[in-house]
Structures are given as structure tokens and as C-alpha cells.
Amino acid sequence: MRIHKEGHTFLLVSFLVTIVITISLVYILKGYPILCYVIIFLAMVFYGLLVQFFRNPVRITVQNERHIIAPADGKIVVIEETKEQEYFNDNRIQISIFMSPLNVHVNRNPISGEVKYVKYHKGKYLVAWHPKSSTENERTTIVIQHARGHEILIRQIAGALAKRIKCYLKEKEQVVQGQELGFIKFGSRVDVFVPVDSEITTHIGATVKGGISVLALLKQ
């Protein structure tokens, strides 16, 4: 299993802390062997969960100029036409992906093109499914312009558990569809805003994979 770079230091520190606490508890409770085995088992499960948070599977994206690829693993919770007010200030179709703590947390470029806009916003930590989380939570907004002129907005949103967003992109940078754009620790949500004339190819409740699943097709 590949471990994402965001997890290297965190997992090392967590491993040392888990070992110290487990050994201390086992020593204190050495007269209760069954309880000691339970503690060791729970420590292994806990650390195993931390490791899977930072897994980074290899994803091979099939390059296609019309495809808008899912930027994150998770479940589609919103598909609706709405007014995007930070960058476009006009109507777009919003597609929201909820990332549970069990999902892969790597975020990927939905299209190839030039990064036109990157902005980080401090904010609240409302639960990811809260209607106002997209505009009030801590978040980073990214806009990538397709070679054909289409612009796609991606918004990384923090939540009640996810309180650290990483975005690796910079304005004027050329990016490739499917490559990493960032990371959200411990889940939360990613919104994608696509042109209203896009052909939506997913549905509410669908489970998608970042860099693989096609959310929509750009107009030819």
C-alpha cells in the first residue's frame, strides 16, 4: 500500500504515541491478560484506521477532453443548478462529493488545462452535508481553464473532522487531468461547478472514484 506524503510524519508520531500508551496500559493491567489482549487489539485496529486514511492508490486516468473526472472518492450528494458567487457569479451545475473517513482523501484534477484561480478561505467547521458548508466552512477554491475555454471550479471543503486542507496548485500552472491537486485529511467534501450545458453522467447516491469516474461531459 502506498502512503501519501501528507501522512508520513503524522503516522510516525501516531505510531510512537500508540506504542507508548499501549505498553503503559498493558504494564498497568498485567494482572488481567484478557484485558491486555483487548487493548492490544484495539490499538492495532486504531492504527490500521489511521494508515488507511492516508493510502494513495495508483489511479490511471483515461485522458479525454470532454470528460469532467471526479476529483475525489466518495458519494454524490448534490446535483443542482445554482449561482456560483465567488468566481463565476452566474449559474453553474454543482456536483458535490461527500468523502467519508474511509474514502481515499487524495484530490485530483477533473480536467487538463491552466489554473486560473486559487484562493484559500478561513471559515467554520460545519458538518460536510450542511447546506452552508460550501460557503461558510474553511475551504479552498480552484478554477482550471480547459484548452477549449471551458472553466471548471473545484472547491475543497473542510468539515467537523477534516480541519486541514492542502492544495498543491498555483495560478498560471498547467495541470493534467487525473493528477493530484491536493489532499483533505479525514474526509469532508469536494464541490465541482460545471457549465450548465454540460451533460451530467452521474446521479445522486452514486459512488465515484477520483481520477476514474466521469461526472459530466463538456459540450462539443
Name, in order, each residue with C-beta under 8 angstroms of 3's C-beta and a sequence gap of 6 or more: 11, 51, 54, 55, 56
Catalytic residue among 96, 112, 134, 188: 188
Q: What gap in Å lies between CA 216 and CA 198, rounded to an integer?
A: 6
Q: Which three cell numbers stand for residue 110?
A: 477533473
Q: What gap in Å lies between CA 104 and CA 90, rounded to an integer?
A: 32
Q: Which three cell numbers stand for residue 142?
A: 480552484
Between 8-28 and 33-53, two packed helices, what is the crossing angle to 10 degrees? 170
Nearest to 185 by CA among 77, 90, 72, 75: 72
Given a contact cutoff of 8 angstroms between Cβ atoms, the answer to whether 104 and 126 are in contact is no
Name, in order, each residue with C-beta under 8 angstroms of 178's C-beta and a sequence gap of 6 or more: 59, 60, 61, 63, 69, 108, 109, 211
Torsions phi, psi for 90 (to 5 deg): -150, 180
Given a contact cutoff of 8 angstroms between Cβ atoms, the answer to whether 97 and 207 are in contact is no
Q: Is 188 a catalytic residue?
A: yes
Q: Which residues are catalytic?
A: 188
